Structure 1
Amino acid sequence: MADLDLRQLTTMIAIAEEGTFSRAATRLGYTQSSVSQHIAALERALGGSVFDRPGGPRPVRITPLGAVVLEHGREVLAKAEALGQAVDRFKAGDGRIDVGTLQSVSHAILPTVLRRLREEHPRCEIRLSEAEPDDARLGDLDLLFYDGLIADETEHVLLMEDPYLVVAPPGDFPPSPVPARELDGKAMVAWPSTCDQPRLEKSLADAGARPRIVFRSAGNETILSMVRAGMGLAVLPWMAIHQVVCRDCGAIHGPEGWPDLQVRELDPAPARAICLHWPPGRRGQSPLAARTVEIAVEVARELARQAPSARA
């Protein structure tokens, strides 16, 4: 069976459907001798005849062995055609990619990346999943957005440095960068101790600030709600809140009846690294995944220009 050839199956099917070697040759654009050679090679590979040949103009009859080969041969050719189409779509940048993401990337970077990718490749399929914050792994993903490096061996690109900002009720701080040490002992609403949060808290401690964590939540909106309720201040990455900050006054406007929240830069200003990871060996990366990386870099570069560190 190792010598079996898709052309031989194609020829056999044509003969079965046309009834004679000569009509099959005309249909396929082969000479009759080529058709005979294909069938002879097929029968040698199978170890038996696939057609009974009555001779003359009478139609050939398929043998029991030929019937088995015909049934499965059609399936093989259909799968081969599907494979060829999938490879063509892959090379054209269509196909599917599986992408892992995190909350603020999903909020600030990914929507623009997905919109541009779908405009370029409307037939592509993109499957998203949220990374486990305390144990992010690439696994079977094609790409993974994460705030920092991960345990898996990967290649990666630094998309941007995302500065942390102080979010507090109005009047808590003057309209200038807040010295980090002024957060020492203050009540703070914070993320859980996953992702980049431990590094942030160490950075604050190194600057002389050990805030009192009064509540932890993975939800940015929940944290802002707790700050509005007077539970304490928050230190959040710019990317997590930039779309709700008023460009004119620098405030976060809440629902009617809630005070606005003021956003202030920190001094020194800690930042987290937003990285995009993929399996080692870019040579094997699909065109769709490679294009996603290129778009993500472009989108992040534009976004970084709006960040406080870029405006300074």
Structure 2
Amino acid sequence: MGEVELRHLATMVAVVEEGTFGRAAVRLGYTQSTISQQVAALEKAVGGVLFERPGGPRPVRLTPLGAVVLEQGQGVLAKADELTEAVDRFKAGDGRIDIGTFQSVSNVILPSVIRRLRDERPACEIRLTEVPADPQLGRLDLLFYDRPIVGDLEVVKLIDDPYLLVARPGDFPDGPVALKHLDDQPMVGCHLPCDQVWLDQLVAAAGVRPRVVFRSPGNETILSMVRAGLGWAVLPRLALHGSGTRYDDRLAIHELRPAPSRGIYLHWAATASRSPLAERAIAIATEIAAEVSAEAGAGYHVGDADVYRGEAPLDE
């Protein structure tokens, strides 16, 4: 079989729907001889006659081969239309974007990113994936993580995210708390890979070794255990910013001195050309992160007291 062109298939469909070569020519804006030439080219490509031509004003009829070519050709044309639409949507920024994320980003940064993308491009498709402890970009367009990922990637640091001490009111005076007060104290932690970031920094900075008495991957569960008096917790500011602790009078939030910290990073493939949708998502995420950083840095309040701002840490 020879090469079949989409325009020849479209001409065949028009002839079938209009009934004659003449009416198909009017519909497509061609001359009747052009219609005849295109049908002849298609018949040559498939190696057989597609239409029975009774002549005169009587409508043409499909041959058995023509029926097969019509059925398959309509599917090919539909796929071509889908391809054209997908390319147009891609160029307009209304395609699909796959984003890898984790708890803090999902709760605080990503909802605002999604809202803005939806407002600007209502037809876009957004798919989210919760990343594992050792994430890989894979087929994702963008990946948020709290450490830079090694690989052929471009990375932008969105925000510095210090760890804060979560205790109960009265456990410490207002203001920062020295790391040494966590040594051998009961702590409520997240899963080990998450906790390891701040635990390693505590040990390196002050030789402090807290006792983790309970672990949960959920920040709300951790905070509930602190409220219950099971132990203190160390959580990143971004996690607390999205959890409603700012005005919770059952919790007190303190800076730690020296202050352990993490970063929030956004990754994408260095070798791939980015879609307009991905480009816009990166720009929006950068804007949102700056807004969140400014807002979160304003302080966490319990009642009328700003409990983690102070002139000097306790007994440093």
Give the TM-score, by structure 1 length. 0.89
Shift of residue 138, structure 1, vs aligned partner:
2.3
Q: Distance in 2 between matches of 1:137 and 1:182?
A: 37
Q: What is the one-letter code of the residue matched to 1:231?
A: L
1:293 counterpart residue number: 282
SS of structure 2 residue aligned to 1:56:
coil
Would you say the 8 A contact 1:162–1:307 is kept in 2? no
Shift of residue 29, structure 1, vs aligned partner:
0.4
Shift of residue 121, structure 1, vs aligned partner:
1.3
Shift of residue 252, structure 1, vs aligned partner:
3.2
Deviates more, 1:61-70 or 1:91-100: 91-100
Shift of residue 211, structure 1, vs aligned partner:
0.9
Shift of residue 56, structure 1, vs aligned partner:
3.4
Would you say the 8 A contact 2:152–2:271 is kept in 1? no
**1:161 equivalenced with 2:157 (yes/no):** no
1:126 counterpart residue number: 126
Shift of residue 267, structure 1, vs aligned partner:
1.4
Pair 1:115–1:4, CA change in 2 (3 A): same
2:261 counterpart residue number: 271
Deviation digits for residues 157-202 of structure 1 (CA, Å, limit 9, x no counterpart):
211111100111122223222222222122111111114x212111
**1:54 equivalenced with 2:54 (yes/no):** yes
1:175 counterpart residue number: 174
Would you say the 8 A contact 2:191–2:215 is kept in 1? yes
SS of structure 1 residue aligned to 2:144:
strand
Shift of residue 236, structure 1, vs aligned partner:
0.5
Q: Distance in 1 between matches of 2:297 and 2:153?
A: 30
Q: Distance in 2 between matches of 1:144 and 1:169?
A: 35
Shift of residue 152, structure 1, vs aligned partner:
5.5
Q: Distance in 1 between matches of 2:53 and 2:190?
A: 79
Q: Distance in 2 between matches of 1:136 and 1:22?
A: 62
2:83 counterpart residue number: 83
1:198 counterpart residue number: 196
SS of structure 1 residue aligned to 2:235:
strand
Figure out how many residues of one structure are paired with residues of the other and give that number: 299
Q: Distance in 1 between matches of 2:109 and 2:77?
A: 43
* Gapped regions of structure 1 (runs ≥ 5): 254-259
Shift of residue 224, structure 1, vs aligned partner:
1.0
Shift of residue 141, structure 1, vs aligned partner:
2.2
1:142 counterpart residue number: 141
Counterparts of residues 1-312 of structure 1 (less than 5 Å):
1=1, 3-132=3-132, 134-150=133-149, 153-195=152-194, 197-208=195-206, 209-243=208-242, 244-246=244-246, 252-253=248-249, 260-283=250-273, 285-308=274-297
Deviation digits for residues 274-312 of structure 1 (CA, Å, limit 9, x no counterpart):
1122233352x2222221111111000111123449999
Q: Distance in 2 between matches of 1:309 and 1:151?
A: 33
Would you say the 8 A contact 1:163–1:308 is kept in 2? no
Shift of residue 30, structure 1, vs aligned partner:
0.3
Deviation digits for residues 117-142 of structure 1 (CA, Å, limit 9, x no counterpart):
1111122222222212x222223322
* Gapped regions of structure 2 (runs ≥ 5): 300-308, 311-316
Quote the RMSD (CA, aligned, Å). 2.1
Would you say the 8 A contact 2:2–2:46 is kept in 1? no
Give the TM-score, by structure 2 length. 0.88
Pair 1:2–1:164, CA change in 2 (3 A): farther
Shift of residue 63, structure 1, vs aligned partner:
1.4
Would you say the 8 A contact 1:138–1:152 is kept in 2? no
Q: Distance in 2 between matches of 1:91 and 1:27?
A: 30
Q: Distance in 2 between matches of 1:103 and 1:114?
A: 15
Could you tell me the percent identity over the aligned residues? 59
Would you say the 8 A contact 1:21–1:32 is kept in 2? yes
Q: What is the one-letter code of the residue matched to 1:293?
A: I
